[in-house]
C-alpha cells in the first residue's frame, strides 16, 4: 500500500528526517530506507535503530514519529494510475453479476471474461492504516473488509512479515474463503502481486505468485544493476531461509514497471468492462459482506 497505492513513502522519510536532524544525525539514506520498506513496524524499527543510534529509546522515537505521521498522513494521495487501476479491477465484478446473483458460481469457460478478485496485504497496523486512508474510503472500498490483511492481523505469526510469504498467502486465503459457492479456489500461481518494496517482492515470489515491481525512483536507483535479483526474490532479505521458495533469475514470473498508469490488463488476461456498465442495476447493488471463518 505505502509507496504503491499511496504517496506515503516520501512522508515517512520526511518524518524520520525531522527526528534525525533534531538529534544531529543527518538524513535517512536510501540504502537504509530500502531495508525498512515493506517490513512490519517492529522489524523496521529494529533495523532503523541499529543504524541511527539515536540518544532516545525506541519507545520515545516511536512516540515522536507517530505524532508527526498523524499530522502529515491525512494529506496522502493516490499515486499516478491507482484510481484507474483499482476502479478497473473493481469493475470486473460485472462479469460475475451481469447475469444474476453472485451467491453461486456460474458455469464459465476459459474464454469468458472473469472477475478479478482482489485483496489488500499491507504491513501497516490498523491505527496507521486508518490515519492514512480515512479520507480515501471510496478508493479503498474496492477491498472488502474481509479481504484486508494488515500488519497486526492476529492470524499472522509474529516475526513472519515480509519478506516471508505469510501475508500474501493469508490474503489469498481470505479470497478463497469468500468465493461464491462452487467456485474453484484460486492457486498461488494464478495470483498477481503488486509491490514497491524489495522485501515485498521477495515475499510475493516466496508465496509462489507472479509479481509486478513498481518502486520509488530512488529505490530503483539503489538497486541499479541488481534488478534481476530483485525480481527473482534473490536479494537475501530473509537470509538463508527456505531458498527453494524464491525464483530464478529471468524466469519471467516478475517484472518491473515504472508506473501503474496505463496498466496493460490484456497482457495478464484481464478484460475490463466499459465504464458504462456502472449504470446497470446489477452493479448498483452493494455486494453483501461475507464473514469468512478463520
192-195 and 210-213: which strand pairing? parallel
Q: Mean pLDDT throughout 199-211? A: 97
Examine the fold and report which residue of 55, 75, 95 is the final residue of a domain before the chain moves on.
Answer: 75
Residue 41 is predicted with a pLDDT of 83
Average pLDDT taken over every residue of the chain = 91
Check pLDDT > 60 for residue 96: yes
Nine-digit cell at 19?
Answer: 527526528
Beta-strand ranges (E) seen in the chain are 120-121, 148-149, 192-195, 210-213, 254-256
- Cα distances (Å, whole numbers) of residue 259 to 81, 85, 225: 7, 11, 19
Examine the fold and report which residue of 56, 75, 94 is the final residue of a domain before the chain moves on.
Answer: 75
Check pLDDT > 70 for residue 109: no
pLDDT, tens only, 252-294:
999 999 999 999 999 999 999 999 999 999 988 665 544 333 2
- Cα distances (Å, whole numbers) of residue 233 to 119, 162, 199, 283: 21, 11, 8, 39
Provide the 8-state DSSP code for 4: T
Q: Are residues 63 and 108 in the same domain?
A: no
Question: What CATH number is given to the structural domain containing 62?
Answer: 1.10.150.240
Residue 3 lies in a domain: no
Q: Are residues 203 and 272 in the same domain?
A: yes
- Please state, as a whole number, how many other Cβ atoms lie within 10 Å of the Cβ of residue 9: 21
Q: Mean pLDDT throughout 14-39? A: 95
Residue 103 is predicted with a pLDDT of 46
Domain containing 99 equals: 82-284
Cell 494510475 appears where?
Answer: 81
Q: Mean pLDDT throughout 34-53? A: 90
Q: Mean pLDDT throughout 176-194? A: 96
Q: Are residues 25 and 63 in the same domain?
A: yes
With bands split at pLDDT 50, 70 and 90, how would you rate the model's confidence at 100? low
Bigger pLDDT: 101 or 12?
12
Nearest to 34 by CA among 211, 221, 255, 253: 221
Nine-digit cell at 57?
Answer: 529509546
Residue 134 lies in a domain: yes
User: Inter-axis angle of helices 126-133 and 58-72, to 10 degrees?
Assistant: 20
pLDDT, tens only, 126-156:
999 999 999 999 999 999 999 999 999 999 9
Percentage of the chain exceeding pLDDT 90: 82
CB distance 41 to 99 below 8 Å: no
Check pLDDT > 60 for residue 102: no
Residue 202 and residue 237: Cα distance in Å, rounded?
Answer: 7
Q: How many domains does the chain have?
A: 2
Residue 250 is predicted with a pLDDT of 97
pTM of the model: 0.89
Residue 5 and residue 260: Cα distance in Å, rounded?
Answer: 9
**Least reliable range by pLDDT among 46-55, 57-66, 104-113, 119-128:** 104-113
Question: What CATH number is given to the structural domain containing 257?
Answer: 3.40.50.1000
Q: Mean pLDDT throughout 159-176? A: 96
Maximum average pLDDT range among 100-104, 197-201, 288-292: 197-201
Check pLDDT > 90 for residue 6: yes
Burial 93-127 (b: 16+ CB within 10 A, else e): bbbbbeeeebeeebeeeeeebebbbbbbbbbbeee
Residue 137 is predicted with a pLDDT of 95
- Cα distances (Å, whole numbers) of residue 110 to 63, 179, 192, 267, 269: 52, 18, 18, 16, 10
Q: Are residues 61 and 91 in the same domain?
A: no
Amino acid at each position: 500500500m505505502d509507496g504503491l497505492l499511496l504517496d506515503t513513502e516520501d512522508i515517512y522519510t520526511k518524518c524520520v528526517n525531522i527526528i534525525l536532524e533534531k538529534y544531529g544525525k543527518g538524513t535517512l539514506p536510501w540504502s537504509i530506507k530500502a531495508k525498512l520498506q515493506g517490513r512490519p513496524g517492529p522489524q523496521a524499527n529494529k533495523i532503523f535503530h541499529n543504524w541511527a543510534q539515536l540518544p532516545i529509546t525506541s519507545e520515545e522515537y516511536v512516540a515522536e514519529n507517530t505524532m508527526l505521521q498523524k499530522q502529515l498522513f491525512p494529506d496522502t494521495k493516490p499515486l499516478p494510475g491507482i484510481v484507474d487501476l483499482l476502479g478497473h479491477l473493481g469493475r470486473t465484478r460485472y462479469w460475475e453479476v451481469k447475469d444474476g446473483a453472485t451467491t453461486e458460481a456460474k458455469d464459465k469457460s476459459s474464454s469468458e471474461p472473469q472477475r478479478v478478485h482482489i485483496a489488500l496485504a499491507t504491513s501497516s497496523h490498523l491505527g496507521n492504516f486508518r490515519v492514512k486512508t480515512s479520507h480515501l474510503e471510496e478508493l479503498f472500498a474496492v477491498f472488502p473488509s474481509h479481504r484486508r490483511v494488515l500488519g497486526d492481523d492476529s492470524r499472522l505469526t509474529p516475526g513472519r512479515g515480509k519478506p516471508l510469504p505469510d501475508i500474501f498467502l493469508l490474503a489469498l486465503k481470505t479470497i478463497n474463503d469468500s468465493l461464491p459457492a462452487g467456485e474453484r479456489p484460486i492457486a498461488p500461481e494464478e495470483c498477481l502481486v503488486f509491490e514497491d518494496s524489495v522485501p515485498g517482492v521477495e515475499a510475493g515470489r516466496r508465496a509462489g505468485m507472479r509479481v509486478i515491481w513498481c518502486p520509488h525512483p530512488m529505490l530503483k536507483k539503489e538497486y541499479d544493476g541488481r534488478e534481476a535479483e530483485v525480481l527473482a526474490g534473490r536479494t537475501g532479505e530473509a537470509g538463508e531461509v527456505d531458498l527453494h521458495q524464491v525464483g530464478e533469475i529471468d524466469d519471467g514470473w516478475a517484472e518491473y514497471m515504472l508506473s501503474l498508469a496505463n496498466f496493460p490488463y490484456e497482457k495478464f488476461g484481464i478484460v475490463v468492462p466499459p465504464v458504462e456498465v456502472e449504470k446497470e442495476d446489477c452493479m448498483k447493488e452493494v455486494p453483501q459482506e461475507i464473514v469468512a471463518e478463520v
